[in-house]
Amino acid sequence: MAKKTALVQGNQACAAGAIYAGCTFFGGYPITPSTEVAEEMSELLPTVGGKFIQMEDEIGAMASVIGASLTGAKALTATSGPGVSLKQELIGYACIAETPCVIINVMRGGPSTGMPTGPGQSDVMQARWGTHGDHAAIALVPESIQEIFTETVRAFNLAEKYRMPVQVLFDEIVGHMRERIVYPEPGELELIDRDPVTVSPEDYKPYDSTKGLVPPLASFGSEYKYHVTGLNKADDGFPTTKASLVDAEERRQIDKVECPEARADIESNEEFMTEDAEVILWAYGSSARSARYAVNELRKEGIKAGLFRPITLWPFPEKRTAELANQAKAIIVPEMNLGQMIHEVERVALGNCAIEGVFRVDGDPLNPGQIIDKVKEVI
Amino acid sequence: MAYDYEKSIRPGKLPHIWCPGCGHGIVMKGLIRAMDTCELDRNNTAIVSGIGCASRLPGYLDACTLHTAHGRAAAFATGVKMAKPEMTVICCGGDGDGTAIGGNHFIHACRRNINMTYVIMNNFIYGMTGGQFSPCTPTGMKASTTPYGNPDPVFDISKLAIGAGATFVARTTAAHPREIDKLIAQGIKHNGMSIIEVLDDCPTSYGRRNKFRSVVDMMKRLKKDAVPAKAAAKMTPEQLEGKFLTGVLYHDNEKAEYTEQYAALIKRVQEGA
Amino acid sequence: MSGARIEVIERNCKACSICAEFCPKDVLEMDVFVVKVVKPEDCIKCMQCELLCPDFAIKVHDA
């Protein structure tokens, strides 16, 4: 039987992916250019018995999502620009309380209100370091409508598996663009639920590191009662200021994402014509679409260009980026900001190749011509 | 005779962190008695708070307890209740947490009439940070950030809740312990948003700065100024000057409860599909 | 009238003096850092001390 296809907007594909992943709760607040995610969820969730709530503000939306997640629901919110700024404190709460949830950020420019209807990629560092304090981060950056669907599903899987907030960042171009989507059949994509608790209620500790880097999370309203706080806490969930306990908990919460096994599991990249490439275009999201076009054009002219496209932006693809820096004469980083990920590329390249950026923040997409010009200038 | 509070308190958590004379402990006892009166299954009870002295309360109680971020208790609690309406949800926190930084969540939880009970401990001050004025600090009084007397007008929490759409609103004080558990129990049993405002005392950060001789002095003043709402009906405005009303201030059984409304919506959508 | 056994959990008592001040029969007295039961035979079991103790430090039992 032919698979179901449709011509849909990125934001709609995101909502469809969330439902496919088993999302049963959405708490949101209207904001351009992400609003269609909320609109779609308000329509879809009741059909599957899920709950949609439009909260009084962005902070409330994030709070409701964490509350719902603690009852066992797969929970989602979607926002943009200023909304992400407002949510930062509670993204940190979800980090320290280790509460699974997915945050969609349909990126526009900034700072502040910026250009609400224009695209941007200026939240990529915020996705890593937006909330205060040390913490791990997972952020995914799909480039197409199909990939928005699959990466939204993967975001839920990672959130549940690693017990933490996962951000999916796509920019306004992809969010509002319409493309053909082929809907995966039920069962076609892997769906991951949070690990079940196996100990007795008396023995349950919500942050018990003897259970591994990701201790299982019980649901409120089950046979397990426990305490959740945003304070530094011991393995039993209660606040502590004991240095050794605080240190161990902080490090575990970062190790669970940064350890080699987790990185191998979480990282996801696409490479296009990188095998013999002398110039690497290191690009993500809609900028990668222009970069891919540029690679094809440059190859026609005999220039050995290739595309490295992180789909997982955080944790940063350190190993592969470093390898490419050793292989290539230059890495070009096109971004719809004034240079954010380029600093990470420079950090791991260790001066082994030339690194140049192509930046744009005027509300228009990066076009392939700009990238091609930069490549020719560099080589 | 002696009440068994211990069975509701997590082992090893007492003595609590509150200062000598702080009324929050009296309110916590009232909450425990109310939970017992309502025979709440602790596994199915979420107690949610924000930040501040009063917000440390959930950590002591044996239930599903959620100590959130400053001001956000009602919003987290809304997520819990929406996702699992079969749970009993109780919020607690202070006046600054609930009506300043959390004011927006507070009024909108009231507006929705979602079935929760919010016990708001109004001690007229930000205690944990050392006594800055809150929206409930009486005008003219001293706080660490109003060294010349508080220039701000005050919020009347109960009136705010009624205006915002809560359907059970009551007020009492820490000096009226038997009324605390009676009103909280009524709030828990009420199907909708219940606000129980408990005026209590912060001897450390408010009392000392405002020349109360002792916590007993503060509690006696609460007793003296409290007027039961029924008695107030027969009093003149002059007699009520400087007093506050206690007891059930508002009760409406007609307004639809939010999660029931949403359940009906789901049913309608699924049957129509 | 007596017949009450008043238990003070000294570990919890913060000596706020609320119980002693509100006791109508002066059964309790402050001893600097903790409350002391001085006249248990006068207790009328009004329970004010137990209800008003913020610190879970006083219990009125039947004798």
**pLDDT tens per residue, range A11-31:** 999 999 999 999 999 999 999
**pLDDT tens per residue, range B79-128:** 999 999 999 999 999 999 999 999 999 999 999 999 999 999 999 999 99
Is the distance from CB of A307 to CB of A283 less than 8 angstroms? yes
Return d(Cα C50, Cα A357) in angstroms, integer: 71
State which residue of chain C sits closest to B180, comparing Cα positions.
Answer: C51
Residue C38 tokens read as 């001085």
pLDDT (tens place) for every residue of chain C, 63 residues total: 557 999 999 999 999 999 999 999 999 999 989 999 999 999 999 999 999 999 999 999 998
The domain ranges of chain C are: 4-62
SS3 B15: coil
Query: Is there contact between C and A if contact means ≥3 C-beta pairs under 8 Å?
Result: no
CB pair distance less than 8 Å for B87 and A73: no
CB pair distance less than 8 Å for B270 and A230: no
Check residue A183 and give its pLDDT: 97
Q: Which residue has the tokens 């010349």?
A: B148
Give the relative orientation of helices A58-70 and B73-83 as an angle to the nearest 10 degrees. 50
**pLDDT tens per residue, range B11-43:** 999 999 999 999 999 999 999 999 999 999 999
Residue B95: phi, psi to the nearest 5? -70, -40
In this predicted structure, the answer to whether residue B273 has a pLDDT above a threshold of 70 is no
Query: E strands along chain B, which residues?
Result: 45-49, 64-67, 88-94, 117-122, 168-173, 194-199, 226-228, 244-251
Handedness of CA B52, B58, B59, B64 (dihedral sign): negative
User: What confidence category does residue B1 fall into, taking pLDDT thresholds of 50, 70 and 90?
Assistant: confident
- In this prediction, residues A204-227 reach a mean pLDDT of 97
The model carries a pTM of 0.98
Longest distance between any two alpha carbons in chain A, whole Å: 69
Is the distance from CB of B201 to CB of B23 less than 8 angstroms? yes
Long-range contacts (CB closer than 8 Å, 24 or more residues apart) made by A45-49:
A45/A19, A46/B265, A46/B266, A46/B269, A46/B270, A47/B269, A47/B270, A47/B273, A48/A19, A48/A24, A49/A24, A49/B266, A49/B270
Return d(Cα C13, Cα C59) in angstroms, integer: 12
Return d(Cα A213, Cα A255) in angstroms, integer: 7
CB pair distance less than 8 Å for C18 and B21: yes
Percent of chain B with pLDDT strictly greater than 70: 100
Burial of C26 (0-12, 13-18, 19+ CB in 10 A): exposed
In this predicted structure, the answer to whether residue B191 has a pLDDT above a threshold of 70 is yes
Check residue A239 and give its pLDDT: 97
Run of H or E including B271: helix B258-272
Domains of chain A: 5-182 (3.40.50.970), 201-264 (no CATH), 269-378 (3.40.50.920)
Residue B181 tokens read as 């558990």
**Which residues, other chains included, contact B156 with Cβ-Cβ below 8 Å and sequence gap of 6+?**
none
Check residue C32 and give its pLDDT: 86
**pLDDT tens per residue, range B137-161:** 999 999 999 999 999 999 999 999 9
CB pair distance less than 8 Å for B25 and C52: no
* Residues 211 through 250 of chain B touching chain C, CB cutoff 8 Å: 214-216, 219
Check residue B114 and give its pLDDT: 98
CB pair distance less than 8 Å for A60 and B105: yes
- In this prediction, residues B45-49 reach a mean pLDDT of 98
Kindly report the CA angle at B252 between B246 and B257, in degrees rounded to 5?
125
**pLDDT tens per residue, range A134-172:** 999 999 999 999 999 999 999 999 999 999 999 999 999
Check residue A28 and give its pLDDT: 98
Burial of A251 (0-12, 13-18, 19+ CB in 10 A): middle
Choosing among A44, A132, A223, A229, which should be mutated to test the B contact, i.e. which has the most B CBs within 10 A?
A: A229
Is C4-62 in CATH node 3.40.50.300? Answer: no
**β-pairing verdict for A354-359 and A330-335:** parallel
Domains of chain B: 15-272 (3.40.50.970)
Check residue C63 and give its pLDDT: 83
DSSP H helices in A130-259: 145-162, 172-176, 243-258
Check residue A202 and give its pLDDT: 96
Return d(Cα A256, Cα A286) in angstroms, integer: 30
Check residue C2 and give its pLDDT: 59
The distance of B199 to chain C (nearest Cα, Å) reads 14
State which residue of chain A sits closest to B77, comparing Cα positions.
Answer: A67
CB pair distance less than 8 Å for B59 and A75: no
CB pair distance less than 8 Å for C54 and B216: no
- In this prediction, residues B218-234 reach a mean pLDDT of 96
CB pair distance less than 8 Å for C16 and B21: yes
A213 touching B, CB under 8 A? Answer: no
β partners of residue A332: A281, A356
C30 touching B, CB under 8 A? Answer: no
Is the distance from CB of B185 to CB of B38 less than 8 angstroms? yes
- Half-sphere exposure of residue C29: CA atoms within 13 angstroms, side-chain side: 7
In this predicted structure, the answer to whether residue A1 has a pLDDT above a threshold of 80 is no
B7 touching C, CB under 8 A? Answer: no
Instruction: Please report all neighbours of A, defined by 3+ CB atom pairs within 8 A.
Output: B
